[in-house]
Chains A and B, each alone.
Chain A
């Protein structure tokens, strides 16, 4: 079992797909010689050449749109939007074009496009380089949305995203790129729409995404010291959502906490809470607790940034609150 970092796992999935398939190519800002702002595509220019590892101008509409056009011709482009914040510039192309060609054409067209992007706080870039915007995209029929939290998951899910016939928004978390773990020798595709129980427990289910999966696992260890048994569930795919897996976990523990780094209000967790009360109301012993960022643009000063985004302690508090409800 080789050890790969989250960064290397992304690169490995891209490289394996490009070795196997001429229709896969990548484009984005600074991805060639520089290897991307996060170093994810480092070395790929040397292996695959400038035709398939394409530096682009700073033109998010054209990056997304050119990906759409190539995908409509049957290629499987993977485009990189350097920061999630910059997906706002490509929103029209993603929401009005990529997501809707299939339906508007009455099923004539497919758009097998993967849009990789990354974000996340913890390094004080301020308000425009660390937002978590995945919640905006789960509202759009026609898109799929993936947010992987481990090297194994990110590798297997990226492969599936590339080979999905639909546009996939693929979210990576900046602070996870250095995270290492042993991954399977052979890349094992992970189906889109399948959640993962990271840790089994009996008293409360924490439904967490991205960095908060790791905060939740740490909180679960502490809760165990207090005699609370926590199950940590990572949906991995936000759209489509593995509702069966989610509900099965909640029916077992009878309590739920949702945790993400994005702003709590109208976030992905709000939808999870709604689904849980619709499908497991009679099993719930307490209201669903929500953990997320406070309702403020990310501030620069480290003490303020730290205050706005959620951490292990916030998850632990929510676990305690829900258990205290009896």
Chain B
């Protein structure tokens, strides 16, 4: 396919978008593989995938600078990969190996990579938000041009930490970006049963916080919105609430039979709201080109499984290390 550079103002280059597609495919294939290996009985623990939300992962993480930090959620594989942690290190963590990004201490719900700003995926809904306000406070006190980013879902906007963390961040005008991945489900509970309002940005506006709403299935739009939000925070104009409306195209956890979800509606959402399909169409990428990108993603993922399986098991008594610094 001939390369045609789109010169429309404000849009990203096709090369950059192809990189985004490559990242999104890596995350998708990685999570599909995680699901497969979990069902095969190879992976211990409790696993949540974010299939359908890859445009938010990639759009936000690619807009962050070196030195920025973030806190993730129980659905953390995408954020972690999109911020540059090698799939080998993530997969090794899921297999409980020393080579894992948390050295086998964390697992899927506690992926860390401090060198790349990952301050930890959190298995308590909303648990990571106050620390993001605090990290941003540290950046402000030290006059460092860095931003702290929190990822969380719509369900987290109902918990106290969300309200306390946003209130304090706005009060103190710290450089934080609060990214709400609104996938319309709190585990199995639909928005209609957990949220008395439809527009979640009202919750941030109530604190006087600047808010941006974006189509979370459009990676280019997410990237632009995230870049604006990060710049706003970095420029000392205060924190930003970034509401990305997205879709979880799978269950809450791997193995979730989703008895609570309308099958036809889910099928229709999958056919119309897949962020990878959307980007593929946007790029008008040929079948052959797409297959080439997809093959690369598959190879990386397969290699990560081989790497993880060949990894080193911690000694049982290693459990007693790292309790204290």
A residues with a Cβ closer than 8 A to B are 25, 51-52, 54, 56-57, 59, 61-62, 64-75, 77, 92-93, 96-97, 101-112, 141-142, 144, 165-166
Question: Would A57 and B134 be within 8 Å (CB), given that A73-B139, A102-B323 are in contact?
Answer: no
Pairs A–B under 8 Å by Cβ, sample size 14: A57-B167, A59-B168, A61-B165, A66-B134, A69-B136, A70-B141, A97-B124, A97-B130, A103-B323, A104-B120, A105-B322, A106-B103, A106-B104, A142-B323
A-B contact count (CB 8 A): 146
B residues with a Cβ closer than 8 A to A are 69, 100, 102-106, 110, 112-115, 119-120, 122, 124, 127-139, 141-142, 148, 160-161, 164-165, 167-168, 171-172, 321-325
Contacts of A66 in B (CB 8 A): 130-131, 133-134, 137, 165, 168
Q: Verify B161–A62 contact, CB threshold 8 A.
A: yes
Q: Verify A65–B112 contact, CB threshold 8 A.
A: no
Q: Verify B161–A65 contact, CB threshold 8 A.
A: yes
Interchain CA distance A105-B136 in the complex, whole Å: 20
Interchain CA distance A317-B165 in the complex, whole Å: 50
Q: Verify A62–B164 contact, CB threshold 8 A.
A: yes
Shortest CB–CB separation between residue A164 and chain B, in angstroms? 8
Q: Verify A107–B103 contact, CB threshold 8 A.
A: yes
Q: Verify B135–A70 contact, CB threshold 8 A.
A: yes
Question: Would A108 and B325 be within 8 Å (CB), given that A64-B130, A69-B136, A92-B161 are in contact?
Answer: no
Question: Would A104 and B137 be within 8 Å (CB), given that A92-B161, A96-B127, A166-B324 are in contact?
Answer: no
Q: Most chain-A Cβ atoms within 10 A of its Cβ — which of B129, B136, B164?
A: B164
Q: Verify A62–B112 contact, CB threshold 8 A.
A: no
Interchain CA distance A74-B69 in the complex, whole Å: 13
Interchain CA distance A56-B172 in the complex, whole Å: 9
Contacts of B127 in A (CB 8 A): 92-93, 96-97
Which of chain B's residues has its CB closest to A56's CB?
Answer: B168
Question: Would A62 and B105 be within 8 Å (CB), given that A25-B141, A102-B323, A109-B114 are in contact?
Answer: no
Which of chain B's residues has its CB closest to A108's CB?
Answer: B114
Question: Would A141 and B323 be within 8 Å (CB), given that A62-B168, A106-B103 are in contact?
Answer: yes
